[in-house]
Structure 1
């Protein structure tokens, strides 16, 4: 990263540093232990589609801002209804599964190595409370963790990337945004941040027209490239 001349590194969290689908699958499985793999995948898709749709409606101004906690509870109710579960305690537990997400195998070590050289900023669409829980569960290391809740919108709204710029006290071009989602990097790039794509099984890969500053298979590779 020295060759990019950046002063701080900004990380997306969900999908980039933690395996969000794996955590949600575990929560859905706990909702009903009789569910087979195909049904779990069906309910996972139902959850993801709801979150994507409602965040888009908020970004489009169709719906007022709601935290990720509210959207997760809505998704949990949809899944529970589809599974025929009407226990409110079970629904509440499912809604919190988004805070119990396992880190990818290279996440903790990669953050630890990078934290020795740069300030690290987490920038997530998760609420403040959810971000606290998932950071603690996954053992993520930050110098600052920022939630889109502070901007009362969701990425890729420019207001969310502004949070990182404001906290760092540096211009956008001195920050490197790392994410497994090309849509997120496009948003950061449009705001003037440098960008690094890291491949994950659950990410949104770049298209042929995307031009990011770095691309890597994992965080360790990302670090090696950055410091050569």
Structure 2
């Protein structure tokens, strides 16, 4: 059975969100403070996703990012950090301009160095179509695919806004299968590639094959590497360099 579609998560998996966000945080903070805040902000975003009822309509990701950042900065232990976001050096007077600059950083990212070449190899060796399937708005995905330079190796962008449902709700994966012409009866003709275990668990439950990409910026709460390896049938990589080979093996195993 040939693989026909490769679905990609975007931020973290393909894109170095951390560098972009760290650059946009107030320069008065130390590099260590900016990095720690960026990582905590990202993890809080995923905690928010996981806390939502299945099937809930997706919220504008800019609104989510702003809400979560403000929640973090209201924590008592973040008082000194919050002052850097204030025009009056007060923790109660956060600057909308500074907050907005941080939120907009999620729209401009570089790709991880291994991604473009890895995806081109997938297209050349397997002839698969490549799609982004990620939470967020279509505007966000358009900004990211352009700023990252990945447009030439991606066929289509599927956002949770466009599909009307967010990951990890099963329906988003089924809708994506329908839209690319695979259908729900043969989900193993598609593979989900992500740096997020919750995403891959949901995709696999629908029947897609999965590949886990380890990124130091993501899944900070996933400590059991052996479990991740088992859940993804041994398909775990540290970069996109070996993705084409893994997909070729998947395809051969299904013949």
Instruction: Answer whether TM exceeds 0.5 for this pair.
Output: yes
TM bucket by the smaller chain?
A: 0.7 to 0.9
Shift in Å, 1:100 = 1.4
- 1:159-170 correspondence runs (5 A): 159-170=171-182
Question: What is aligned with 1:125?
Answer: 135
- Structure 2 CA distance for partners of 1:224 and 1:95, relative to 1, 3 Å: same
Q: Which string of whole-angstrom CA distances, capped at 9 and with x for unpartnered residues, describes residues 117-163 of structure 1?
A: 11111111121111111111111131111001234342111122123
Q: Provide the TM-score with structure 2 as the length reference.
A: 0.77
**Greater CA radius of gyration, 1 or 2?**
2
- 1:10-159 correspondence runs (5 A): 10-28=7-25, 32-59=26-53, 65-78=58-71, 82=82, 83-85=84-86, 86-116=94-124, 117-140=127-150, 141-159=153-171
Q: Provide the TM-score with structure 1 as the length reference.
A: 0.85
Shift in Å, 1:68 = 1.0
- Could you tell me which runs of 5 or more consecutive residues in structure 2 were left unpaired when the two chains were aligned: 75-81, 87-93, 250-255
Alpha-carbon distance in structure 2 between the residues aligned to 1:172 and 1:134: 27
Q: Secondary structure of 1:5's match?
A: coil
- Structure 2 CA distance for partners of 1:60 and 1:144, relative to 1, 3 Å: closer
Alpha-carbon distance in structure 2 between the residues aligned to 1:119 and 1:102: 22
Q: Which string of whole-angstrom CA distances, capped at 9 and with x for unpartnered residues, describes residues 39-69 of structure 1?
A: 21342244224422332333358x8641212
- Structure 2 CA distance for partners of 1:7 and 1:173, relative to 1, 3 Å: same
- Structure 2 CA distance for partners of 1:52 and 1:199, relative to 1, 3 Å: closer
| Aligned partners of 1:58 and 1:65 also within 8 Å | no
Alpha-carbon distance in structure 2 between the residues aligned to 1:12 and 1:154: 12
